[in-house]
Structure 1
Amino acid sequence: MGGGAETSVEFVNLRSRPVIVYWLDYQGRRRQYAVLQPSASYRQHTYVGHPWLVTDGRGRPLVCFEPTRTPGRAVIR
């Protein structure tokens, strides 16, 4: 099981509290990659077809993002 073409996603936290960024692995399990503080951002190297989940600090889902061939930007509000 592999991903598609290489790409990237810039995650941007516009919320007033930290958020947690996870990659969902091939079994659908959360794999934590980052904790983003308010107003913070970071760019994640990834592959087309690899889903990413962003949650609040308690693990409640806020948004799921699936990368495309064009580098993307996931703004969390």
Structure 2
Amino acid sequence: MPPSRERGLRSVSGGSETSIEFVNHRSHPVTIHWLDYQGHRRHYAVLQPSASYRQHTYVGHPWVVTGGRGRALVCFEPTATPARAVVR
């Protein structure tokens, strides 16, 4: 999803367990944040260029990836089946 969607995203409870594999295809590190029940960012990981990271999560728990200075690059919403989120 585009980064502009972050404003309206927040976690909701009750979703099934799943996972997302984040892959950084950018030339700089990115930061992975979970968006909590109030829509606030919760820092989870820093992903170096060409690295990947698997995150256990739940359907209904959105994630945002940020670049330098905390600028949102992209948002992801987990699906019922494990997914791959490529950051370009």
Pairwise TM-score range, normalised by the shorter structure: over 0.9
Say what the alpha-carbon RMSD is for the aligned residues: 0.9
TM-score, normalising length: structure 1: 0.96
Identify the residue that residue 61 of structure 1 maps to in structure 2: 72
Correspondence 1:1-77 to 2 at 5 A: 2-77=13-88
More helix, by proportion: 2
More strand, by proportion: 1
Quote the Cα distance in structure 2 between the aligned partners of 1:70 and 1:61: 25
TM-score, normalising length: structure 2: 0.85
CA contact (8 A) 1:3 1:50 kept: no
- Identity fraction in percent: 78
Q: Which runs of 5+ in 1 are unaligned?
A: none
Q: Which runs of 5+ in 2 are unaligned?
A: 1-11
